[in-house]
Structure 1
Amino acid sequence: MKNRLNQQYILQFIYQLLTTPSPSGFCHQIMRKIEDEATRLGYSYTTTKKGCGVITVPGKDHDHILGLSAHVDTLGAMVRSIKESGMIRFTPIGGYVMSTIEGEYCKIHTRDGQTYAGTVLTTQPSPHVYAEAREQKREEANMEIRIDEMVKSKKDVEALGIAVGDFISFDPRTVIGENGFIKSRHLDDKAGVAVIFGLLEMLRRENITPVHTLKIFISTYEEVGHGASYLPPEIDELIAVDMGSMGEDLCCTEQDVSICAKDSSGPYDYDMVTKLINLAKKEGLSYVVDIYPFYGSDVSAALKGGNNIRGALIGPGVHASHSMERTHVEGLLNATALLAAYVLSE
């Protein structure tokens, strides 16, 4: 199956996704790109009331509906207050460790469409000035954003149009290496979205009809816990395509597709997980089965939201999740190939 995939398309699309700001709740720009690409490929596209996208791919069997999900929303921040010094205090969007964004470049997106550059710093950023700079605890109260504008006061910042509630996105610093490594923030879960579109491109290019009708759900609030809490009610089973966790006693590498047997929300559907394992073996894919101890997915949100579905979770291996992440093109291809094998199997 892997030799039928368009690697160049997947890499081009993941770069487009990664370089489009989309912290949870600020996904209108990236969802326009999702809609444009889905319709360019010839698929039906609709949106839910909270801005999630639904792409429909007709199958041979319309009675059983297979859902696939991935989320475009990322970690980010929001303006909490403007300090008298002209610095911005922010509140985090999503669960990250503050030390992972220290020194990061960012953008402040105002409600009237302006964008301003800035840098995330501690309130004691220089050891030449502050005796406790190295020991200062990296927590929300001790972090702030320096704006790259001539501002010296709260009034100066407000004059730019910056206000409480404005969204802040972090520079993804995306690099796609010639050796196949992809380094970037927000591979969680734009790598998963690229995997799904790699499948869609193959189905369209080769004029393939999946066994069951597909409903592809692109969620916009996964990082804050309720991404796929609502699903189209006709969906019978759902595969979330998200990052494969790495580290501690996990087996996954960046070249593998990870099949999750259990995460913090509990075990995934026995039959679906078994089928995914057997297909990975049959296709000769590099895969692992892992347990994610501190993880929840779109399937987790869907089940907690009361959806009557079975669920499974797969994804390419991603190192240093919620920090400076890295994956590999082989992980993307293995995940796409496993997904393709599933939708083309009885």
Structure 2
Amino acid sequence: MNYLDYIIEETKNLLAIDSPSGYTKDVIAYLKKEYEALGYEPMITIKGGLLVKIGGKNKENAILLEAHADTLGGMVTEIKSNGRLKLTPVGGMNANNAESENCRIITRFGKVYEGTFQLTNASIHVNEKYDETSRSYKEMEVVIDEKVDSKEAVQKLGIMAGDFVCFDPRTTVTQSGFIKSRFLDDKLSVGILLGYAKYLKEENIEPEREIYQHITVYEEVGHGGAASIPENVVEVLAVDMGCIGEGLECDEFKVSICAKDSRGPYNYDVVTALVKAAQDKDINYAVDVYPLYGSDADVALSAGYDVKHGLIGPGVYASHGYERSHKEGVLNTFELLKAYLG
């Protein structure tokens, strides 16, 4: 299995593990075992993320690579009198993008139930306002796949307010190399970091500077990168999804280098060095400004860390919806990490 095949396979494995922000213990346990199998010694942080040192010579000039394993999701906020569930979003899960999606309700003490997130009164043959009704969390509900028709019947299942609701990722990889799934943001980049760690170990490569990888678990709610940065780290490079859309140069086949997002510009020297590394190795890349975006690297600076920061990632279309990338974009991101880090 080559490194690209490994990255895709691990990404598929990660996508199959439910991990909305706040419920990430299963995916982190899986990642811990994977890093250990590669020969590393990962540590679970107090916040629940994963920190692992992957090697390097210069201990005074360390770099931290960050990707996040937490995803969007929902949480039960009310059990209705008819046995349906009202939700509140976890992260930026847009109700429009989740309509008619299968989901799982994770109860507080481990039971799991299936359901579907639907418009209230979802039968088009009955609801004369079907077309004009706004798809919002006020107008939508989870229909549980159990024989329940009252609040009391749902409570007897062990379901309560505060339970997580996880949406089906619907992962598929096409013969033409497209990767389609919910939550490629950011499990695709977690797969890339695993692939890079595997590459260093199997090729017996010791980079010039010490490298850490941090798999964060609260990025989608804004504070994933706010802690657990080792003292000798002077640079944080977020590896997250690259934006695709009108006015941007990136597509699914490129690695995106972000010059500025909604929180401001990234470090000039870091962005310049990333561009030079891509040009020197003839890597297909784009430099873009993201209008509605923030990263773990931004959060590190907001938390007070005195570090340089950057952001790269494979191009991902339809962000926070049913997302799409391509193997070429994954490979170009992997190659840029190799070129930049040496």
**TM bracket (short chain):** over 0.9
Q: What is the CA distance between 1:208 and its match in structure 2?
A: 0.6
**Residue-by-residue CA offset, 1:186-230 (whole Å, 9 max, x unaligned):** 000011111111111111111111111111111000000000011
| Paired position in structure 2 for 1:169 | 166
- Please list, as runs of the form range in 1=range in 2, the aligned pairs for 1:175-214 lying within 5 A after superposition: 175-214=172-211
Contact 1:124/1:136 (CA < 8 Å) preserved in 2?
A: no
- Please list, as runs of the form range in 1=range in 2, the aligned pairs for 1:309-324 lying within 5 A after superposition: 309-324=307-322
Contact 2:76/2:160 (CA < 8 Å) preserved in 1?
A: yes
- Please list, as runs of the form range in 1=range in 2, the aligned pairs for 1:289-308 lying within 5 A after superposition: 289-308=287-306
Letter matched to residue 303 of structure 2: G
Contact 1:9/1:198 (CA < 8 Å) preserved in 2?
A: yes
Q: SS where residue 316 of structure 2 aligns? A: coil
Contact 1:5/1:198 (CA < 8 Å) preserved in 2?
A: no
Letter matched to residue 12 of structure 2: Y
Cα separation, 1, equivalents of 2:54 and 2:26: 23
Q: What is the CA distance between 1:43 and its match in structure 2?
A: 1.1
Q: Does structure 1 residue 20 correspond to structure 2 residue 17?
A: yes
Letter matched to residue 301 of structure 2: L
Q: SS where residue 215 of structure 2 aligns? A: strand
| Paired position in structure 2 for 1:94 | 91
Q: Does structure 1 residue 57 correspond to structure 2 residue 54?
A: yes
Q: Give aligned pairs, total.
A: 341
Letter matched to residue 174 of structure 1: T
Of 40-49 and 98-107, more deviation after overlay is shown by 40-49
| Paired position in structure 2 for 1:136 | 133
Q: Does structure 1 residue 234 correspond to structure 2 residue 232?
A: yes
Cα separation, 1, equivalents of 2:118 and 2:230: 42
Letter matched to residue 19 of structure 2: S
Letter matched to residue 266 of structure 2: Y
| Paired position in structure 2 for 1:246 | 244
Which of 258, 262, 265 is the aligned partner of 1:264? 262
Q: What is the CA distance between 1:119 and its match in structure 2?
A: 0.2
Which of 5, 21, 32 is the aligned partner of 1:8? 5
Cα separation, 1, equivalents of 2:174 and 2:40: 31
Cα separation, 2, equivalents of 1:122 and 1:142: 6
Cα separation, 2, equivalents of 1:179 and 1:137: 36
Q: What is the CA distance between 1:75 and its match in structure 2?
A: 0.4
Cα separation, 2, equivalents of 1:123 and 1:310: 48
Cα separation, 2, equivalents of 1:238 and 1:327: 24
What TM-score, normalized to structure 2? 0.98
Q: SS where residue 91 of structure 1 aligns? A: strand
**Unaligned residue ranges in structure 1 (runs of 5+):** none
What TM-score, normalized to structure 1? 0.97
Contact 1:258/1:287 (CA < 8 Å) preserved in 2?
A: yes
Superposition RMSD on alpha carbons, in Å?
1.1
Q: What is the CA distance between 1:126 and its match in structure 2?
A: 1.5
Contact 1:233/1:307 (CA < 8 Å) preserved in 2?
A: no
Q: What is the CA distance between 1:112 and its match in structure 2?
A: 1.2
Cα separation, 2, equivalents of 1:119 and 1:233: 46
Cα separation, 2, equivalents of 1:338 and 1:188: 18
Q: SS where residue 242 of structure 2 aligns? A: coil
Any runs of at least 4 consecutive aligned residues in structure 1 with deviations exceeding 6 A, and if so which?
none
- Please list, as runs of the form range in 1=range in 2, the aligned pairs for 1:84-163 lying within 5 A after superposition: 84-163=81-160
| Paired position in structure 2 for 1:47 | 44
Q: SS where residue 275 of structure 1 aligns? A: helix
Cα separation, 1, equivalents of 2:93 and 2:15: 18
Q: Structure 1 residues 37, 23: closer, same or farther in 2, change over 3 A?
A: same
Q: SS where residue 259 of structure 1 aligns? A: strand
Which of 286, 289, 292 is the aligned partner of 1:288? 286
Q: What is the CA distance between 1:233 and its match in structure 2?
A: 3.0
Cα separation, 2, equivalents of 1:305 and 1:289: 26
Cα separation, 2, equivalents of 1:233 and 1:61: 14
Q: What is the CA distance between 1:11 and its match in structure 2?
A: 1.1
Cα separation, 2, equivalents of 1:232 and 1:296: 22
| Paired position in structure 2 for 1:82 | 79
Q: What is the CA distance between 1:232 and its match in structure 2?
A: 2.6
Q: What is the CA distance between 1:5 and its match in structure 2?
A: 5.9
**Unaligned residue ranges in structure 2 (runs of 5+):** none
Q: SS where residue 33 of structure 1 aligns? A: helix
Cα separation, 1, equivalents of 2:293 and 2:257: 13
Q: SS where residue 17 of structure 2 aligns? A: coil
